[in-house]
Structure 1
Amino acid sequence: MTVPQRVPVSAMFAYSMEVLGKPSVATFERYERHGTAREAFSYVAIAAAVSALIGLVGGLGGAIVAFLTTMLGFLVFTYAVYFAGKTFFGGTGTYDEVAFTFSLFYVPLSVIGALLGLIPLLGLLTGLIILVAQIYYGYLAVQSSMNIRDSGPAIITLVIAGAVNFVLAMIIGGIFAAILIGGAMMSGAGR
Protein backbone atom coordinates (compact mmCIF):
# COMPACT_ATOMS: atom_id res chain seq x y z
CA MET A 1 0.00 0.00 0.00
CA THR A 2 1.40 3.40 -0.93
CA VAL A 3 1.42 6.28 1.51
CA PRO A 4 -0.67 9.21 0.26
CA GLN A 5 1.08 12.49 -0.46
CA ARG A 6 0.39 15.45 1.83
CA VAL A 7 -3.00 16.92 1.04
CA PRO A 8 -3.25 20.71 1.07
CA VAL A 9 -6.06 22.32 3.06
CA SER A 10 -7.49 23.77 -0.16
CA ALA A 11 -7.95 20.23 -1.53
CA MET A 12 -9.50 19.04 1.72
CA PHE A 13 -11.91 21.97 1.61
CA ALA A 14 -12.89 20.96 -1.95
CA TYR A 15 -13.38 17.35 -0.77
CA SER A 16 -15.52 18.65 2.10
CA MET A 17 -17.75 20.62 -0.25
CA GLU A 18 -18.32 17.53 -2.36
CA VAL A 19 -19.01 15.33 0.68
CA LEU A 20 -21.46 17.87 2.08
CA GLY A 21 -23.09 18.55 -1.29
CA LYS A 22 -23.33 14.94 -2.50
CA PRO A 23 -23.57 12.84 0.66
CA SER A 24 -23.20 9.15 -0.07
CA VAL A 25 -20.98 6.24 0.82
CA ALA A 26 -19.57 6.44 -2.72
CA THR A 27 -18.54 10.08 -2.23
CA PHE A 28 -16.72 9.22 0.99
CA GLU A 29 -15.14 6.19 -0.71
CA ARG A 30 -13.70 8.48 -3.38
CA TYR A 31 -11.68 10.41 -0.79
CA GLU A 32 -10.99 8.01 2.08
CA ARG A 33 -7.51 7.10 0.87
CA HIS A 34 -6.47 10.60 -0.20
CA GLY A 35 -4.94 11.45 3.16
CA THR A 36 -3.90 10.25 6.58
CA ALA A 37 -4.67 11.07 10.20
CA ARG A 38 -1.88 13.66 9.98
CA GLU A 39 -3.80 15.66 7.37
CA ALA A 40 -7.07 15.08 9.21
CA PHE A 41 -5.69 16.57 12.43
CA SER A 42 -4.16 19.51 10.57
CA TYR A 43 -7.58 20.18 9.07
CA VAL A 44 -9.36 19.74 12.41
CA ALA A 45 -6.91 22.23 13.92
CA ILE A 46 -8.59 24.87 11.73
CA ALA A 47 -11.96 24.14 13.35
CA ALA A 48 -10.26 24.09 16.75
CA ALA A 49 -8.68 27.50 16.08
CA VAL A 50 -12.07 28.97 15.12
CA SER A 51 -13.57 27.48 18.29
CA ALA A 52 -10.68 28.91 20.32
CA LEU A 53 -11.19 32.39 18.85
CA ILE A 54 -14.86 32.23 19.75
CA GLY A 55 -13.91 30.78 23.13
CA LEU A 56 -11.92 33.96 23.83
CA VAL A 57 -15.26 35.46 24.84
CA GLY A 58 -14.79 33.45 28.02
CA GLY A 59 -11.16 34.55 28.37
CA LEU A 60 -7.93 32.78 27.55
CA GLY A 61 -9.02 29.73 29.54
CA GLY A 62 -12.15 29.46 27.40
CA ALA A 63 -10.06 29.58 24.24
CA ILE A 64 -7.69 26.87 25.47
CA VAL A 65 -10.55 24.63 26.55
CA ALA A 66 -12.33 25.14 23.21
CA PHE A 67 -9.19 24.24 21.25
CA LEU A 68 -8.39 21.18 23.34
CA THR A 69 -11.95 19.84 23.44
CA THR A 70 -12.26 20.14 19.66
CA MET A 71 -8.98 18.29 19.04
CA LEU A 72 -9.43 15.68 21.79
CA GLY A 73 -13.09 15.16 20.93
CA PHE A 74 -12.19 14.38 17.33
CA LEU A 75 -9.36 12.04 18.37
CA VAL A 76 -11.46 10.14 20.90
CA PHE A 77 -14.51 9.87 18.66
CA THR A 78 -12.66 8.72 15.54
CA TYR A 79 -10.52 6.26 17.45
CA ALA A 80 -13.65 4.86 19.15
CA VAL A 81 -15.28 4.47 15.70
CA TYR A 82 -12.19 2.65 14.45
CA PHE A 83 -11.87 0.43 17.54
CA ALA A 84 -15.58 -0.46 17.79
CA GLY A 85 -15.97 -1.03 14.06
CA LYS A 86 -12.92 -3.27 13.86
CA THR A 87 -13.39 -5.12 17.17
CA PHE A 88 -17.13 -5.72 17.21
CA PHE A 89 -18.19 -5.68 13.56
CA GLY A 90 -15.15 -6.84 11.60
CA GLY A 91 -14.59 -3.47 9.93
CA THR A 92 -11.63 -3.50 7.59
CA GLY A 93 -10.78 0.19 7.38
CA THR A 94 -7.69 1.84 8.80
CA TYR A 95 -7.53 4.61 11.36
CA ASP A 96 -6.16 6.93 8.66
CA GLU A 97 -9.27 6.29 6.56
CA VAL A 98 -11.59 6.93 9.51
CA ALA A 99 -9.86 10.13 10.62
CA PHE A 100 -9.54 11.54 7.12
CA THR A 101 -13.14 10.77 6.13
CA PHE A 102 -14.62 12.13 9.34
CA SER A 103 -12.56 15.32 9.10
CA LEU A 104 -14.16 16.11 5.73
CA PHE A 105 -17.55 16.81 7.31
CA TYR A 106 -16.51 17.52 10.90
CA VAL A 107 -14.46 20.62 10.10
CA PRO A 108 -16.97 22.58 8.02
CA LEU A 109 -19.90 21.65 10.26
CA SER A 110 -17.94 22.59 13.39
CA VAL A 111 -16.93 25.95 11.96
CA ILE A 112 -20.49 26.71 10.82
CA GLY A 113 -21.85 25.65 14.21
CA ALA A 114 -19.32 27.75 16.11
CA LEU A 115 -19.97 30.86 14.03
CA LEU A 116 -23.76 30.58 14.08
CA GLY A 117 -23.62 29.75 17.78
CA LEU A 118 -22.59 33.35 18.38
CA ILE A 119 -26.07 34.54 17.40
CA PRO A 120 -28.45 34.51 20.38
CA LEU A 121 -31.37 32.06 20.11
CA LEU A 122 -29.93 30.68 16.88
CA GLY A 123 -27.19 28.84 18.75
CA LEU A 124 -29.38 26.09 20.21
CA LEU A 125 -31.27 25.45 16.99
CA THR A 126 -28.04 25.47 14.98
CA GLY A 127 -26.45 23.10 17.47
CA LEU A 128 -29.28 20.60 17.03
CA ILE A 129 -29.17 20.85 13.24
CA ILE A 130 -25.37 20.40 13.23
CA LEU A 131 -25.69 17.38 15.53
CA VAL A 132 -28.24 15.72 13.23
CA ALA A 133 -26.04 16.46 10.22
CA GLN A 134 -22.96 15.03 11.95
CA ILE A 135 -24.86 11.86 12.80
CA TYR A 136 -25.99 11.46 9.19
CA TYR A 137 -22.55 12.12 7.70
CA GLY A 138 -20.97 9.96 10.41
CA TYR A 139 -23.26 7.09 9.46
CA LEU A 140 -22.11 7.34 5.83
CA ALA A 141 -18.47 7.74 6.87
CA VAL A 142 -18.59 4.59 9.04
CA GLN A 143 -19.98 2.62 6.13
CA SER A 144 -17.21 3.91 3.89
CA SER A 145 -14.13 4.13 6.09
CA MET A 146 -14.75 0.93 8.07
CA ASN A 147 -16.44 -0.94 5.21
CA ILE A 148 -19.42 -1.72 7.41
CA ARG A 149 -22.35 -1.63 4.99
CA ASP A 150 -25.08 -3.01 7.25
CA SER A 151 -27.11 -0.25 8.91
CA GLY A 152 -27.35 -1.85 12.36
CA PRO A 153 -23.62 -2.32 12.95
CA ALA A 154 -22.85 1.11 11.46
CA ILE A 155 -25.34 2.77 13.82
CA ILE A 156 -24.12 0.78 16.83
CA THR A 157 -20.53 1.77 16.01
CA LEU A 158 -21.57 5.44 16.10
CA VAL A 159 -23.51 4.96 19.35
CA ILE A 160 -20.50 3.28 21.02
CA ALA A 161 -18.19 6.06 19.83
CA GLY A 162 -20.64 8.70 21.02
CA ALA A 163 -20.94 7.07 24.44
CA VAL A 164 -17.16 6.81 24.82
CA ASN A 165 -16.76 10.43 23.75
CA PHE A 166 -19.47 11.57 26.19
CA VAL A 167 -17.98 9.68 29.16
CA LEU A 168 -14.47 10.99 28.49
CA ALA A 169 -15.81 14.52 28.02
CA MET A 170 -17.53 14.28 31.41
CA ILE A 171 -14.34 13.02 33.05
CA ILE A 172 -12.20 15.74 31.46
CA GLY A 173 -14.85 18.36 32.25
CA GLY A 174 -14.88 17.19 35.85
CA ILE A 175 -11.12 17.49 36.06
CA PHE A 176 -11.19 21.03 34.62
CA ALA A 177 -14.00 21.98 37.02
CA ALA A 178 -12.06 20.59 39.97
CA ILE A 179 -8.97 22.54 38.93
CA LEU A 180 -10.96 25.76 38.53
CA ILE A 181 -12.81 25.29 41.82
CA GLY A 182 -9.59 24.35 43.60
CA GLY A 183 -7.86 27.41 42.18
CA ALA A 184 -10.72 29.66 43.23
CA MET A 185 -10.70 28.18 46.74
CA MET A 186 -6.93 28.60 47.01
CA SER A 187 -7.08 32.23 45.90
CA GLY A 188 -9.98 32.86 48.28
CA ALA A 189 -8.11 31.22 51.19
CA GLY A 190 -5.22 33.64 50.76
CA ARG A 191 -7.40 36.66 51.47
Structure 2
Amino acid sequence: MIQEMINGSIAVLTKPSAQTFEQHERDNLVWALIYAVIASVINGILTAITWPLRVGQIRAQLEAQNVPPDLIETTLAQQGNIINLVLGGIFNTIIGSLIIWGIIYLLGRAFGGTGSFGELAWGISLFSSPLSVAQTIAGAIPFIGGVISLALSLYGVYLVYLAIQSGMNLPAQKALYVAIILAVIAIIFVCVTAGLIAAVSLALGGGFAP
Protein backbone atom coordinates (compact mmCIF):
# COMPACT_ATOMS: atom_id res chain seq x y z
CA MET A 1 0.00 0.00 0.00
CA ILE A 2 2.86 2.38 0.81
CA GLN A 3 4.36 1.85 -2.63
CA GLU A 4 0.98 2.55 -4.18
CA MET A 5 0.74 5.82 -2.27
CA ILE A 6 4.28 6.80 -3.24
CA ASN A 7 3.46 6.13 -6.88
CA GLY A 8 0.32 8.22 -6.49
CA SER A 9 2.30 11.04 -4.90
CA ILE A 10 4.79 11.09 -7.74
CA ALA A 11 1.96 11.15 -10.26
CA VAL A 12 -0.08 13.99 -8.73
CA LEU A 13 3.01 16.08 -7.98
CA THR A 14 4.56 15.75 -11.42
CA LYS A 15 1.41 15.55 -13.55
CA PRO A 16 -1.16 17.57 -11.58
CA SER A 17 -4.70 17.31 -12.90
CA ALA A 18 -8.09 16.20 -11.65
CA GLN A 19 -7.79 13.19 -13.95
CA THR A 20 -4.51 12.14 -12.32
CA PHE A 21 -6.13 12.30 -8.90
CA GLU A 22 -9.02 10.20 -10.22
CA GLN A 23 -6.63 7.56 -11.55
CA HIS A 24 -4.97 7.16 -8.15
CA GLU A 25 -8.09 7.60 -6.02
CA ARG A 26 -8.82 5.17 -3.18
CA ASP A 27 -11.39 5.24 -0.38
CA ASN A 28 -9.03 4.54 2.50
CA LEU A 29 -8.97 6.96 5.43
CA VAL A 30 -6.73 4.75 7.58
CA TRP A 31 -3.88 4.67 5.09
CA ALA A 32 -4.30 8.37 4.38
CA LEU A 33 -3.63 8.98 8.08
CA ILE A 34 -0.75 6.48 8.14
CA TYR A 35 0.87 8.26 5.20
CA ALA A 36 0.51 11.61 6.98
CA VAL A 37 1.99 10.15 10.18
CA ILE A 38 4.97 8.74 8.27
CA ALA A 39 5.62 12.22 6.90
CA SER A 40 5.36 13.59 10.44
CA VAL A 41 7.96 11.10 11.70
CA ILE A 42 10.31 12.04 8.85
CA ASN A 43 9.80 15.70 9.72
CA GLY A 44 10.62 14.86 13.34
CA ILE A 45 13.87 13.19 12.31
CA LEU A 46 14.78 16.18 10.16
CA THR A 47 13.96 18.48 13.07
CA ALA A 48 16.23 16.42 15.33
CA ILE A 49 19.07 16.78 12.84
CA THR A 50 18.66 20.56 12.64
CA TRP A 51 17.74 21.00 16.32
CA PRO A 52 21.11 22.41 17.51
CA LEU A 53 21.00 25.04 14.77
CA ARG A 54 17.39 25.88 15.59
CA VAL A 55 18.16 26.32 19.30
CA GLY A 56 21.10 28.55 18.40
CA GLN A 57 18.87 30.72 16.24
CA ILE A 58 16.28 31.07 19.01
CA ARG A 59 18.99 31.99 21.50
CA ALA A 60 20.45 34.60 19.13
CA GLN A 61 17.03 36.15 18.53
CA LEU A 62 16.29 36.39 22.26
CA GLU A 63 19.72 37.84 23.00
CA ALA A 64 19.20 40.44 20.27
CA GLN A 65 16.00 41.47 22.06
CA ASN A 66 17.95 41.88 25.33
CA VAL A 67 15.97 39.15 27.03
CA PRO A 68 17.44 38.30 30.47
CA PRO A 69 19.69 35.19 30.44
CA ASP A 70 17.56 33.28 32.94
CA LEU A 71 14.45 33.81 30.82
CA ILE A 72 16.35 32.71 27.71
CA GLU A 73 17.24 29.42 29.39
CA THR A 74 13.64 28.98 30.53
CA THR A 75 12.37 29.62 27.01
CA LEU A 76 14.81 27.13 25.51
CA ALA A 77 13.87 24.54 28.12
CA GLN A 78 10.21 24.97 27.17
CA GLN A 79 10.99 23.99 23.58
CA GLY A 80 10.87 20.38 24.73
CA ASN A 81 13.05 17.44 23.83
CA ILE A 82 13.18 15.73 20.46
CA ILE A 83 11.10 12.70 21.51
CA ASN A 84 8.30 14.89 22.80
CA LEU A 85 8.43 16.97 19.63
CA VAL A 86 8.15 13.88 17.43
CA LEU A 87 5.31 12.38 19.48
CA GLY A 88 3.57 15.74 19.63
CA GLY A 89 4.00 16.11 15.89
CA ILE A 90 2.35 12.73 15.28
CA PHE A 91 -0.59 13.62 17.54
CA ASN A 92 -0.98 17.06 15.96
CA THR A 93 -0.76 15.54 12.48
CA ILE A 94 -3.60 13.10 13.15
CA ILE A 95 -5.87 15.67 14.80
CA GLY A 96 -4.94 18.47 12.41
CA SER A 97 -5.40 16.31 9.32
CA LEU A 98 -8.82 15.11 10.42
CA ILE A 99 -9.93 18.69 11.16
CA ILE A 100 -8.66 20.09 7.86
CA TRP A 101 -10.01 17.20 5.81
CA GLY A 102 -13.30 17.49 7.69
CA ILE A 103 -13.64 21.19 6.89
CA ILE A 104 -12.90 20.57 3.22
CA TYR A 105 -15.34 17.66 3.14
CA LEU A 106 -18.15 19.67 4.74
CA LEU A 107 -17.58 22.58 2.36
CA GLY A 108 -17.55 20.18 -0.56
CA ARG A 109 -20.81 18.62 0.56
CA ALA A 110 -22.32 22.09 0.97
CA PHE A 111 -21.59 22.73 -2.71
CA GLY A 112 -23.16 19.44 -3.77
CA GLY A 113 -20.14 17.14 -3.65
CA THR A 114 -20.81 13.41 -3.53
CA GLY A 115 -17.37 11.98 -2.80
CA SER A 116 -16.53 10.05 0.37
CA PHE A 117 -14.41 11.33 3.24
CA GLY A 118 -11.89 8.55 2.68
CA GLU A 119 -11.44 9.40 -1.00
CA LEU A 120 -10.87 13.07 -0.22
CA ALA A 121 -8.42 12.28 2.59
CA TRP A 122 -6.47 9.87 0.39
CA GLY A 123 -6.16 12.39 -2.43
CA ILE A 124 -5.02 15.22 -0.17
CA SER A 125 -2.57 12.99 1.69
CA LEU A 126 -0.87 12.02 -1.58
CA PHE A 127 0.56 15.51 -1.98
CA SER A 128 0.33 17.14 1.46
CA SER A 129 2.56 14.53 3.11
CA PRO A 130 5.54 14.83 0.72
CA LEU A 131 5.11 18.60 0.49
CA SER A 132 5.30 18.89 4.29
CA VAL A 133 8.63 17.04 4.24
CA ALA A 134 9.87 19.27 1.43
CA GLN A 135 8.88 22.36 3.42
CA THR A 136 10.74 21.08 6.48
CA ILE A 137 13.85 20.66 4.36
CA ALA A 138 13.36 24.09 2.80
CA GLY A 139 12.99 25.63 6.24
CA ALA A 140 16.53 24.55 7.08
CA ILE A 141 17.99 26.29 4.02
CA PRO A 142 19.32 29.79 4.80
CA PHE A 143 18.11 32.82 2.84
CA ILE A 144 16.09 31.08 0.10
CA GLY A 145 14.31 28.56 2.32
CA GLY A 146 11.41 30.91 2.96
CA VAL A 147 10.91 31.54 -0.75
CA ILE A 148 10.96 27.82 -1.51
CA SER A 149 8.51 27.12 1.31
CA LEU A 150 6.15 29.82 0.01
CA ALA A 151 6.30 28.36 -3.51
CA LEU A 152 5.51 24.90 -2.14
CA SER A 153 2.57 26.31 -0.18
CA LEU A 154 1.13 27.97 -3.28
CA TYR A 155 1.57 24.74 -5.24
CA GLY A 156 -0.21 22.92 -2.42
CA VAL A 157 -3.18 25.28 -2.71
CA TYR A 158 -3.48 24.42 -6.40
CA LEU A 159 -3.29 20.71 -5.63
CA VAL A 160 -6.01 21.08 -2.99
CA TYR A 161 -8.22 22.59 -5.69
CA LEU A 162 -7.60 19.58 -7.94
CA ALA A 163 -8.08 17.10 -5.09
CA ILE A 164 -11.44 18.68 -4.26
CA GLN A 165 -12.61 18.16 -7.83
CA SER A 166 -11.64 14.51 -7.71
CA GLY A 167 -12.37 13.58 -4.10
CA MET A 168 -15.71 15.40 -3.88
CA ASN A 169 -16.79 14.88 -7.52
CA LEU A 170 -17.26 18.61 -8.01
CA PRO A 171 -17.01 20.63 -11.22
CA ALA A 172 -14.03 22.96 -11.51
CA GLN A 173 -15.99 26.13 -10.68
CA LYS A 174 -17.51 24.79 -7.46
CA ALA A 175 -14.16 23.29 -6.43
CA LEU A 176 -12.65 26.75 -6.93
CA TYR A 177 -15.26 28.26 -4.61
CA VAL A 178 -14.36 25.72 -1.93
CA ALA A 179 -10.64 26.44 -2.40
CA ILE A 180 -11.21 30.20 -2.10
CA ILE A 181 -13.20 29.77 1.11
CA LEU A 182 -10.41 27.57 2.49
CA ALA A 183 -7.84 30.22 1.56
CA VAL A 184 -9.86 32.89 3.37
CA ILE A 185 -10.14 30.68 6.46
CA ALA A 186 -6.38 30.05 6.36
CA ILE A 187 -5.59 33.76 6.03
CA ILE A 188 -7.86 34.62 8.96
CA PHE A 189 -6.24 31.89 11.05
CA VAL A 190 -2.72 33.12 10.22
CA CYS A 191 -3.65 36.74 10.99
CA VAL A 192 -5.24 35.84 14.32
CA THR A 193 -2.26 33.67 15.27
CA ALA A 194 0.22 36.38 14.27
CA GLY A 195 -1.78 38.93 16.25
CA LEU A 196 -1.72 36.76 19.37
CA ILE A 197 2.02 36.17 19.03
CA ALA A 198 2.62 39.90 18.57
CA ALA A 199 0.48 40.70 21.61
CA VAL A 200 2.38 38.20 23.76
CA SER A 201 5.72 39.55 22.50
CA LEU A 202 4.69 43.11 23.31
CA ALA A 203 3.52 42.05 26.76
CA LEU A 204 6.82 40.29 27.45
CA GLY A 205 8.75 43.23 26.04
CA GLY A 206 6.90 45.59 28.35
CA GLY A 207 7.77 43.35 31.26
CA PHE A 208 11.48 43.62 30.45
CA ALA A 209 11.45 47.40 30.24
CA PRO A 210 13.16 49.18 33.17
Inter-partner Cα distance in structure 2 for 1:51 and 1:21: 22
Q: TM-score, normalised by structure 2?
A: 0.68
Quote the offset at 1:90 in angstroms: 0.7
Partner residue of 1:160?
181
Residue number in structure 2 paired with 1:75: 98
Residues of 2 paired with 1:168 and 1:36: CA distance? 29
CA contact (8 A) 1:19 1:104 kept: yes
Any conservation in 1 of the 2:21–2:163 contact (CA below 8 Å)? yes
Unmatched 5+ stretches in structure 1: 1-7, 179-191
Runs of 4+ in 1 over 4 A off after TM superposition: 162-171
In the alignment, what sits opposite 1:49?
41
Secondary structure of the residue aligned to 1:23 is: coil
SS at 2:20 equivalent: helix
Q: Which has the larger radius of gyration?
A: 2
Counterpart mapping for 1:20-39 below 5 A: 20-32=13-25, 34-39=26-31
TM-score with structure 1 length normalisation? Answer: 0.75
**Match runs of 1:127-166 below 5 Å:** 127-151=149-173, 153-162=174-183
Pair 167,74 (structure 1): closer, same or farther in 2 beyond 3 Å: farther
Match of 1:119 in 2: 141
Which residues of structure 2 form unaligned runs of 5+? 52-78, 201-210
In 2, the alpha carbon distance for the partners of 1:22 and 1:40 equals 20
**d(CA) in 1 for partners of 2:43 and 2:184?**
23
Q: Which piece of structure 1 moves more, 132-141 or 48-57?
A: 48-57
The structure 1 residue matched to 2:9, chosen from 6, 16, 20, is 16
The secondary structure found in structure 1 opposite 2:115 is coil
**Aligned residue identity for 1:36:** N
Give the residue type in structure 2 aligned to 1:75.
Answer: L
Quick one: which amino acid aligns to residue 154 of structure 1?
Answer: A
1:79 to partner: Cα distance: 1.1
Give CA-to-partner distance per residue, 1:35-93, whole Å, 9 cap, x none. Answer: 41101000001111122223442542544444444333322211111011102x01000
The structure showing larger relative contact order (alpha-carbon pairs under 8 Å, at least 6 residues apart) is: 2
| CA distance in 2 between partners of 1:77 and 1:166 (Å) | 14
Give the counterpart letter for 1:156 in structure 2.
Y
Match among 64, 77, 101 for residue 123 of structure 2: 101
The amino acid that maps onto 2:20 is T
* Cα offsets for 1:124-182 (capped at 9, x unmatched): 1111111111011111100111111132x2123124345556777868xx7xxx9xxxx
| Corresponding residue for residue 85 of structure 1 | 108
% identity of equivalent residues = 31
Inter-partner Cα distance in structure 1 for 2:85 and 2:29: 26
RMSD (CA atoms): 2.9
Count residues with an aligned counterpart: 167
Aligned counterpart, 1:188: none
